[in-house]
Amino acid sequence: MTEKPSCNGTSVLPYLTGMALAVAVAGLLLSCGGGTSDDGGGVGAVTGTVTTTISDPPTCKGPMAPSDLQFNRVWVTVTKVRAHISDTAGDTASGWVDLVDLTNNPMQIDLLGGQAGQCILATLGSTMALPAGNYQQIRIHLLENNPPGGTATPSPNNCASVNGFNCAELADGTLKLLELSSQANTGLKIPPGRIAGGRLMLEAGQSADINIEFNACNSIVEQGNGQLRLLPTLHAGEVSVADTISGRGVKRTDGTLLPNATIIVLAEQPDANNIDRVVLEQLADANLGTFSLCPLPAGNYDIVVAAMDGSGVTYNATITFNVPNGTSMGDIPLEPEPAPTTSPGILQGQVTTTDPASMPTGADIKLAALQDATPSGGSARQVTIPLFGSSTPNVPTEVLMNCPMGTKCADYTLNVPASNPVVGTFSSGMMTTYANPAAGTVLYKVNARAFEPGTTTPSCSPAEITQNLDAADMPLAVTAGMTTTVKNITFTGCTAGF
């Protein structure tokens, strides 16, 4: 698209990873009555109809989910989706544009209600005549669990028995309230770093599909008291539901299917720190091994696949770099962990948080296991590796008996493939040959990001730490079936939390 002058119009698409919430917006035409763009443009024009939809691959839906927290349902109640041309605009600033306004008729959505391979979960609504522009911030608003009297509420309400409007049903049928932060009212923020291309470009007279991905499986944290809290993982971008990346996971040894397997598929793109971050994740069909990643914004993705078959044998991560959206990848070879020990490696560690006065404070921590890999003709990247069952990638720091003095802390476990990855690169419309896994020590890094409790706002300074050492200050190596203790990750200068 050619960049047009902007006013304060909007197109929005958040991505959330684990359970994904996708919003597709169709038929965008924009105009505003006068105003200057954020990048020095002139007067904008209006769009036609913007249609917003939601999609979500149910990657933590029990019993095959690769997560210690397995769910049957995750209900959230959406009231509004807004966008702004400024990435720093506060919730009360002028210039916000409603992509969808459901204030008078909130929509309660089961984020796990879709089927494998389903791109669109639900349609939120349509809006006409929005201002054209480059939108750098998107916010999705949820109905609070205890709204003021007179507030419109959904009927029926699937969370009524737990006295709220946002809740999760565990695999055993237990219904738990999903606690929200105050940010649910001001809007769960999707900043430029989580919007494909850094912004949504809505042009006058042009149409667009906007996708909001709400990754429910990666957006719920269990507190020490057993309560569940929303730790939102959101992404957004312009998409076409016709474009997918598809493939099939097979045994590298003979090309046959994996028996009764849990095959985890991640679509990733590198961030400013050269860390491949998950844009969309999915479970492949347990019997056929097939997957279809959608909806995805235009661009190239690094596709990472790992698996565990029904007998408990784990398979190394296979990384395919630079796969264009719309590609049918065919068979993706998965290398089994060699006998006699075929179980995952285990990374265990602790994160601590303190405020600028070195006093204990709480934060929400998102953890990822990284391995270095290099595309053909490119430079090394730090790739996010899929995690196997009983991993705890989302943890809140709290007062625990084993916390170091003067801190709040969280213990975590990451169960990972215990071999080096199989690596291939997509180039000039063709796949290169997959290289054998590198021999020798299997090295990992643990990346931790700290957020203000229940928000997407970074909490500490720095807000991100990558640890590559074990408790003995040696390189962080993994062995199948063994536990490696990660050197403590220490966040300081954190915003006062709970």
Residue 162: predicted pLDDT: 97
Does the pLDDT of residue 230 top 50, yes or no? yes
Does the pLDDT of residue 4 top 60, yes or no? no
- Asked if the domains 245-334 and 345-419+439-491 are classified in one and the same CATH topology, the answer is yes
Task: For residue 281, report the phi and psi dihedrals to the nearest 5 degrees.
Answer: -130, 155
Residue 123: predicted pLDDT: 79
Decide: helix, strand or coil at residue 233: coil
Domain ranges of the chain: 49-238, 245-334, 345-419+439-491
Helix (H) or strand (E) holding 210: strand 210-214
Residues 449-453, mean pLDDT to the nearest whole number: 91
CB count in 10 Å sphere of residue 390:
14
Residue 368: predicted pLDDT: 97
Task: For residue 262, report the phi and psi dihedrals to the nearest 5 degrees.
Answer: -100, 110
CB count in 10 Å sphere of residue 40:
8
Report the distance separating Cα 310 and Cα 330, nearest Å: 23
The pair of structure tokens assigned to 468 is 């590559």
Residue 5: predicted pLDDT: 30
Residue 26: predicted pLDDT: 37
Q: Which residue has the higher pLDDT, 213 or 478?
A: 478
232 closest CA partner among 338, 141, 321: 141
One-character DSSP codes across 253-322: TTSPPPTT-EEEEEEEEE-TTSEEEEEEEEEPPTTT-EEEE-S-BSSEEEEEEEEE-TTS-EEEEEEEEE
Residue 39 CB partners (closer than 8 Å, separation 6+):
3, 6, 134
Whether the Cβ atoms of residue 347 and residue 417 lie closer than 8 Å to each other: no
Does the pLDDT of residue 34 top 80, yes or no? no
Residue 41: predicted pLDDT: 32
**Amino acid found at 264:** I
Whether the Cβ atoms of residue 364 and residue 353 lie closer than 8 Å to each other: no
Decide: helix, strand or coil at residue 431: strand
Number of H helices and E strands in the chain, helices first, is 1, 33
Look up the CATH architecture of domain 345-419+439-491. Sandwich (2.60)
Residue 21: predicted pLDDT: 45
436-463 per-residue burial string, b: 16 or more CB within 10 A, e: under 16: ebbeeebebbbbbbbbbbbbbebbbeeb
Does the pLDDT of residue 3 top 70, yes or no? no
Confidence of residue 48 (pLDDT cuts 50, 70, 90): low
Give the lowest-confidence range in 89-93, 112-116, 330-334, 494-498: 494-498
Helix (H) or strand (E) holding 185: helix 183-186
Residues 240-260, mean pLDDT to the nearest whole number: 88
One-character DSSP codes across 237-257: EEB-TT--EEEEEEETTTSPP
Give the lowest-confidence range in 187-196, 296-305, 462-471: 187-196
Does the pLDDT of residue 30 top 50, yes or no? no
Strand partners, 204: none
Residue 6: predicted pLDDT: 33
pTM: 0.83
Residue 63: predicted pLDDT: 63
Does the pLDDT of residue 307 top 70, yes or no? yes
Average pLDDT along the chain:
84
Confidence of residue 149 (pLDDT cuts 50, 70, 90): very high
Look up the CATH architecture of domain 245-334. Sandwich (2.60)
CB count in 10 Å sphere of residue 426:
21
Residue 37: predicted pLDDT: 35
Handedness of CA 93, 99, 100, 104 (dihedral sign): positive
Residue 192: predicted pLDDT: 84
CB count in 10 Å sphere of residue 378:
12
Give the lowest-confidence range in 142-151, 174-183, 233-242: 233-242
* pLDDT tens figures, 352-397: 999 999 999 999 999 999 999 999 988 999 999 999 988 999 999 9
Residue 212: predicted pLDDT: 81
Residue 13: predicted pLDDT: 34
Which residue shows structure tokens 């992509």? Answer: 99
Does the pLDDT of residue 31 top 50, yes or no? no
Confidence of residue 479 (pLDDT cuts 50, 70, 90): very high
Residue 20: predicted pLDDT: 42
Confidence of residue 19 (pLDDT cuts 50, 70, 90): very low
Residues 327-356, mean pLDDT to the nearest whole number: 95
* pLDDT tens figures, 253-277: 999 999 889 999 999 999 989 999 9
